[in-house]
Amino acid sequence: MHLACHECDLLQSIPPLSERGTAKCGRCGAVLVRHKPNSIERTLALAVTGLILFILANAFPILEFEINGEITATTLIGAVGSLYASGEWPLAVVVFLTTQAAPLSQILIKLYVYLPLWLNRVPWRPGVAFRLLLEIEPWSMMSVFMLGILVSVVKLAKMAHILPGTSLWAFVLLIVVLAAAVASMDTALVWQRLEASR
């Protein structure tokens, strides 16, 4: 792997590092690569936890609508469906992208890359998958995700009540777990493993 020093711009090749290894610049001593210990196991464990939370968050009702005096509880994906059906399609799309598509694709691609790595194997087209993950990650990170939820909550609050149940808590935990899964990733280590396997 070749890397330019972020301090002095010296281009140098980084040898494969051990699990807790650190690579420093040969000229100025700046730290170029520092591996996070157990990064692959931790990221994988967080991705699995995220998937379970995602399923829980969508398996239980989170909203309560009152339509013509009748109270109906619905899951978030059910709410997306009713929003779409009632002509509120821009809101339906925002809620769908931020609370469903973004977290689920992030979790699934992470599992796709990290599960084989953990088993010392390499997934099909790993570079494409990992690059895609790095692309969607900032996009699906906290701010957008939170904003989407905030917008939906504020907008939906006029039409519905939020149920403080399993689904809501699973969503709150999911945000925390997704952020932790991003923090535990060691991009340099993954590239090193993928290159070594070629």
Q: By CB under 5 A, is residue 135 in contact with Zn ion? A: no
Binders of Zn ion in range 5-34 (CB under 5 A): 5, 7-8, 10, 25, 27-28, 30
Q: Which of 64, 88, 90 lies closest to 76 in space, CA to CA?
A: 64
Question: SS3 of 77, please?
Answer: helix
Binders of Zn ion in range 30-59 (CB under 5 A): 30
Contacts of 59 (CB under 8 A, 6+ apart): 75, 166, 167
C-beta closer to Zn ion: residue 4 or 55: 4
C-beta closer to Zn ion: residue 29 or 37: 29
C-beta closer to Zn ion: residue 11 or 119: 11
b (16+ CB within 10 A) / e for 99-121: bbebbbebbbbbbbbbebbeeee
C-beta closer to Zn ion: residue 23 or 25: 25
How many of the chain's residues bind Zn ion (CB under 5 A)? 8
Tokens of 131: 């690059």
In whole angstroms, how close is the CB of 10 to Zn ion at the nearest point?
A: 5
Give first-to-last CA distance, the chain, whole Å.
13
Which residues sit at the interface with Zn ion, rule CB under 5 A?
Answer: 5, 7-8, 10, 25, 27-28, 30
